[in-house]
Amino acid sequence: MKYRIRLSPTVAFRAIQELNSVTRKHLPVQIRSIRGFFFFLLLFAFPFSIRFFWAFSLAPVPYLTPDEFIYPFAGKLYVQGLASGNLSVFKVNAEHPPLSKLITALFIFLLGPFGFSDIGALRVQGCFFSSLTCILAYLIGSRADRRVGMLSWVLLSLDPLSIRFAIASLDATSLFFASLSIYILLKAHPNSSKLYLLSGLILGLATLCKYSAFPVVLGAFALILLGDRTPIRPAAQKISLVAASSLAVLILGNPLFWPPQLIGFSGYSVFIEASSRYTIGPGGICVTPLDWLEPVLKAWNTPHALFYLSMFGLGSLTYPLPIFQSSYLPWLSLASLLQLARRKARLEGLRFKSLLWFSAGFLFFWLLAKSQAEPYYSVWLQPPLAIFSANSIIDIWRKVKR
Amino acid sequence: MEESETIVSAIALPALLLSVLAAARLMGISKRTASIFMTLNATIGLAIFSALTTIPQLSIQALNTLNPEKVVAITPLIFTFELLSGTYFASRILELDYLRFLKLTLAALSLTLAISVPLCLLVFFFYS
């Protein structure tokens, strides 16, 4: 009797295990793929419905001016120009690359018959790509653990900053491609160059939506390779491959970088002229926070030096984006970092990589967004923060459970 | 855009990078460790102070309303706080020796200043 009692749970467990394995094996592929489809549909629908509700019920129209007027107009103009062979249309809003605006034109074309205005279609585009980025957060987080993936998705889906600025279409669209590029980079086998090439091509698409994607992703990739202790030569080869392929896509996809003989004007000059308005400061000058030092050094024996020095000091030491005021993710990440430091726990794997990804974006915007920091640039920092926080929370939960 | 506008960045940023590598080499620290440490140091230092700016008395608006003399007196304190906190937490997270890496940070920053300020002044002298 004793023997029976001891044995029966083991036997039952084995039987259930076998039954499970049999049913899993015999589950038709179609049903499994339908299950997967509905699962990803849910992963998309939840963040999309939150963003859609904010964009169409709560956000005032217009919310991001003048962007919400310029991008649909420019997108439609580009399509007309491409159709008629008139590439001079790309002189309009030349400071930003054209891909996201062309996608906006596509959304206007698709949603216009359903009663969506141009701004409405632009907002649907932003919500669509922002929700896809949440799915990518799940996929990247799942590389460590499925629970990490789910928590990353929950944190990013409910992040107030990502919801509020999902309607920043250029950033939301570019961030999706940039996150996809990082996902492929993390997935790539060290000896296979195909995935690096693919990642570079997708980074090119991200850069064709917004130029910020290029330094952020490439910086993150370089830091990840440094952190992984990849030897210099293969690391340089991989970075070059990603950079070259993305630059090729950028040049092919942006008519402003085509030869003047082909487009009939110097696109590069138009781009430089349009970009020069992104300068501010004394006499309309300032490129990075360090450039505030120029008036200090030039006016060293005048009272102006003190004034400029004060501007330089605060300008460099305070972060230009109010991330802690608008989201819980930076707080969670900072608490995780402090907890890590207190426990002196080893930082490795996806947690380390997501921290380096965050660092690349964080320092890039500190350095270059100083001249004209828009609060919606913060959306770039949220996916790595969500993954890092989720990873840390699951890690702590596991330790507590033990 | 005039050429002289980006002079400080064009000189100071490469100078900082070279200084980090040179200081790391002199102190026998690997370049990778030094680069990752400096990146995390800057990120964590800035992030911690950024979190503190949510306190109304330390908010960016409050700091911006101070007169220039007060700001010039306060900024070294903020800088020291960012430097020490960034170095402390980055060295703990990366399991490194705090004092050794504090020395690395100070050496790299001093070297950057020593290289870039005279160079910037020289360039401004020739431009003006």
Distance CA A264, CA A270 (A): 12
The predicted pLDDT at position A27 comes to 62
Taking the Cβ of residue B18 and every Cβ of chain A, the question of whether any pair is shorter than 8 Å is answered with: no
Instruction: State the nearest Cα–Cα gap between A196 and chain B, in angstroms.
Output: 22
Mean pLDDT over B80-103 rounds to 92
The predicted pLDDT at position B47 comes to 93
Instruction: State the nearest Cα–Cα gap between B19 and chain A, in angstroms.
Output: 16
Nearest residue on chain B to A326, alpha-carbon basis: B54
Distance CA A163, CA A270 (A): 34
Alpha-helical regions (H) of A54-117: 67-84, 99-111
pLDDT in tens, A305-352: 777 777 777 777 888 888 898 899 999 999 998 888 887 667 788 999
Mean pLDDT over A382-399 rounds to 92
Please say whether the beta carbons of A151 and A393 come within 8 A: yes
The predicted pLDDT at position A280 comes to 43
Four-point Cα dihedral A97, A100, A104, A105, nearest 10 = 50
Q: Give the confidence band of A370 by pLDDT, cuts at 50, 70, 90.
A: low
Please say whether the beta carbons of B51 and A330 come within 8 A: yes
Instruction: State the nearest Cα–Cα gap between B25 and chain A, in angstroms.
Output: 16
Cis peptide bond prior to A66, omega within 30° of 0:
yes
Q: Nearest by CB to B47, which of A226, A334, A356?
A: A334
Helix (H, G, I), strand (E, B) or coil at A144: coil
Q: Is pLDDT of A284 > 80?
A: no
Q: How many domains does chain B have?
A: 1
From chain B, pick out residues whose CB is under 8 angstroms from the CB of A334: 47-48, 51
Six-digit token pair at A21?
């394995």
Q: Nearest by CB to B9, which of A287, A310, A346?
A: A287
Choose the weakest-confidence range: A50-59, A68-77, A149-158, A393-402.
Answer: A393-402
Nearest residue on chain A to B43, alpha-carbon basis: A359
The predicted pLDDT at position A283 comes to 45
Cβ neighbours, 10 Å, residue A146:
12
Q: Is pLDDT of A241 > 90?
A: yes
Taking the Cβ of residue A280 and every Cβ of chain B, the question of whether any pair is shorter than 8 Å is answered with: no
Q: Is the dihedral of CA A152, A154, A159, A162 positive or negative?
A: positive
The predicted pLDDT at position A20 comes to 55
Four-point Cα dihedral A136, A140, A141, A145, nearest 10 = 130
CB contact under 8 A, B46 and A366: yes
Taking the Cβ of residue A298 and every Cβ of chain B, the question of whether any pair is shorter than 8 Å is answered with: yes
Among candidate residues A296, A207, A278, A209, the one with its CA nearest the CA of residue A243: A207
From chain A, pick out residues whose CB is under 8 angstroms from the CB of B76: 313
Distance CA A76, CA A80 (A): 6
Choose the weakest-confidence range: A48-62, A221-235, A300-314.
Answer: A300-314
Q: Give the confidence band of A55 by pLDDT, cuts at 50, 70, 90.
A: very high
CB contact under 8 A, A340 and B72: no
Distance CA A167, CA B120 (A): 42
Six-digit token pair at A281?
């400061």
Q: Nearest by CB to B39, which of A334, A337, A359?
A: A359
Taking the Cβ of residue B61 and every Cβ of chain A, the question of whether any pair is shorter than 8 Å is answered with: no
CB contact under 8 A, A226 and B32: yes
The predicted pLDDT at position A19 comes to 52
DSSP A15-73: HHHHHHHHHHHHS-HHHHHHHHHHHHHHHHHHHHHHHHHIIIIIS-SS-STTHHHHHHH
* Most B-contacting residue of A290, A297, A301, A362 (CB-CB within 10 A), to test interface: A290
Query: What is the distance of C-alpha A13 from the center of its chain?
Result: 45
CB contact under 8 A, A310 and B5: no
CB contact under 8 A, B44 and A337: yes
Q: Is pLDDT of A4 > 70?
A: no
The predicted pLDDT at position A16 comes to 54
Among candidate residues A186, A187, A180, the one with its CA nearest the CA of residue A204: A180
Instruction: State the nearest Cα–Cα gap between A330 and chain B, in angstroms.
Output: 8
Distance CA A227, CA B23 (A): 19
* % chain A with pLDDT above 70: 86
Taking the Cβ of residue A363 and every Cβ of chain B, the question of whether any pair is shorter than 8 Å is answered with: yes
Choose the weakest-confidence range: A117-131, A205-219, A288-302.
Answer: A288-302
Distance CA A49, CA A47 (A): 6
Q: Which residues contact A134 (CB under 8 A, 6 or more apart)?
A: A43, A44, A47, A153, A156, A157, A162
CB contact under 8 A, B43 and A286: no
Q: Nearest by CB to B9, which of A279, A288, A366?
A: A288
CB contact under 8 A, B50 and A323: yes
Query: What is the distance of C-alpha A332 from the center of its chain?
Result: 19
Instruction: State the nearest Cα–Cα gap between B6 and chain A, in angstroms.
Output: 6
Nearest residue on chain B to A340, alpha-carbon basis: B93
Nearest residue on chain A to B50, alpha-carbon basis: A319
Cis peptide bond prior to A62, omega within 30° of 0:
yes
From chain B, pick out residues whose CB is under 8 angstroms from the CB of A276: 1
Six-digit token pair at B79?
């800088």
Q: Is the dihedral of CA B78, B82, B83, B85 positive or negative?
A: positive
Q: Give the confidence band of A11 by pLDDT, cuts at 50, 70, 90.
A: low
> What domain range is B13 assigned to?
3-127
Taking the Cβ of residue A236 and every Cβ of chain B, the question of whether any pair is shorter than 8 Å is answered with: no
